[in-house]
Structure 1
Amino acid sequence: MASRSSNRLVVPEAKEALNQFKLEAAKEVGTPLTNGYNGDLTSRQNGSVGGQMVKKMVEDYENRIK
């Protein structure tokens, strides 16, 4: 049975921008993320990319409300 992802973009046109953001975050934390297959990366590496993305989003929000 094929799994269905519940991760749906609210604005589908933003997909490319989100992918670029993810690649930039990966570069900042030193994770060799690519546009293709990344199944050889560890959970820790993938988690560091997600954590960096959240950190940057929070910083951006804090700068906007000042």
Structure 2
Amino acid sequence: MARRSSRRLVVPDAHHGVDQFKAQVMRQQGVEAPEGRPDLIKYAVAQSLGIPLSPSNNGNLTTEQAGKIGGQIGGAMVREMIKMAQQQLAQRRP
């Protein structure tokens, strides 16, 4: 049986913080979100990849195109979180 993915955050009110983290990580990768709108970072990433993502109907996108957008964002976030955890662990060592 396939595992279902849940897009819900454990802390429901954390959406704004997660969006800010995404925008911060992608800024380090050279992709800027529109000023004051970190929730729109996926459109900036799509544009940088040449993928026509729009706020409404994206039924014409291939799975590969959608994966490139999400993979670039998610991969960068995971790498940054691992780096942060390693730094925290290094600070704890005597």
- What TM-score comes out, normalization by structure 1 length? 0.60
Alignment of 1:38-49 (within 5 A): 38-49=58-69
Q: Aligned-pair distance for 1:6?
A: 3.6
Between 1 and 2, higher relative CO (CA 8 Å, sep ≥ 6) is seen in 1
Answer yes or no: is the 8 Å Cα contact 1:26–1:32 preserved in 2. Answer: yes
Larger Cα-atom Rg: 2
C-alpha distance in structure 1 between counterparts of 2:45 and 2:83, whole Å:
18
What are structure 1's unaligned runs of at least 5 residues?
Answer: none
Q: Aligned-pair distance for 1:52?
A: 1.2
C-alpha distance in structure 2 between counterparts of 1:8 and 1:41, whole Å:
23
What are structure 2's unaligned runs of at least 5 residues?
Answer: 23-38, 88-94
C-alpha distance in structure 1 between counterparts of 2:72 and 2:83, whole Å:
16
Q: Extract structure 1 runs of 4+ deviating beyond 3 A.
A: 9-15, 58-66
Matching residue's letter, 2:62? T
- Residue in 2 aligned with 1:55? 75
Distance 1:6 1:61, change over 3 A: closer
Distance 1:58 1:20, change over 3 A: same
Coordinate RMSD, CA, aligned? 2.7
Q: Does 1:23 align with 2:30?
A: no
Counting aligned pairs with the same residue, the percent is: 34
Describe the SS at the equivalent of 2:40: helix
Distance 1:12 1:21, change over 3 A: farther
